[in-house]
């Protein structure tokens, strides 16, 4: 399966953070804990990022992106980009990809939950990118 990353911009009340829709990410991840709600302390985990370096994660929480609520989002200080993991989106949703970007839809009613626009520098098919994969080590 080709790896795929694309950059999206989601407006929130606290900031205008950038997220990467990442088929190689093991978890949803944010660098700034202010983006998460319902924060919980967790045992320290080492996250190995695309360049092989490691970052520590000590918290997780929820993340609201438009109509989409994600649970178990890891807070990883020092992460360059916030990540939405394609493989960890709710089972009631489905990603649709094309050359212009991606759309996450509700399987039950077809509602659009999230839209991502591709940027040439971040959209790569069939080859690894610096943005993925992210491996999880606990």
pLDDT tens for the chain, residues 1 to 138: 344 444 444 433 344 567 888 888 889 999 999 999 999 999 999 998 878 889 999 999 999 888 889 999 999 999 988 889 989 999 999 998 887 788 889 999 989 888 877 764 443 333 333 333 333 333
- Asked whether residue 44 is domain-assigned, the answer is yes
Asked if the structure places residue 67 within a domain, the reply is yes
pLDDT at residue 114 in the model: 84
For 86, half-sphere exposure in the C-beta direction (CA atoms, 13 angstrom radius) is: 23
117 within domain boundaries: yes
Whole domain around residue 9: which residue ranges?
A: 5-122
Burial class (CB in 10 A: 0-12, 13-18, 19+), 114: buried
**Does residue 70 fall inside a structural domain?**
yes
pLDDT of residue 119: 63
Domain of 78, CATH number, reads 2.40.70.10
pTM here is: 0.75
Q: Are 23 and 129 in contact (CB under 8 A)?
A: no
């Amino acid at each position: 399966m080709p790896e795929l990353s694309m950059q999206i911009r989601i407006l929130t009340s606290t900031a205008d953070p950038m997220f990467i829709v990442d088929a190689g990410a093991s978890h949803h991840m944010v660098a700034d804990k202010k983006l998460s709600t319902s924060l919980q302390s967790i045992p320290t985990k080492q996250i190995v990022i695309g360049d092989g370096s490691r970052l520590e994660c000590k918290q997780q929480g929820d993340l609201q992106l438009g109509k989409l609520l994600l649970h178990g989002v890891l807070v990883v200080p020092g992460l360059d980009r916030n990540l939405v993991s394609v493989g960890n989106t709710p089972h009631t949703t489905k990603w649709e990809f094309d050359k212009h970007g991606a759309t996450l839809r509700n399987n039950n009613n077809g509602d659009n939950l999230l839209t991502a626009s591709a940027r040439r520098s971040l959209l790569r098919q069939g080859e690894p990118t610096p943005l993925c994969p992210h491996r999880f080590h606990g």
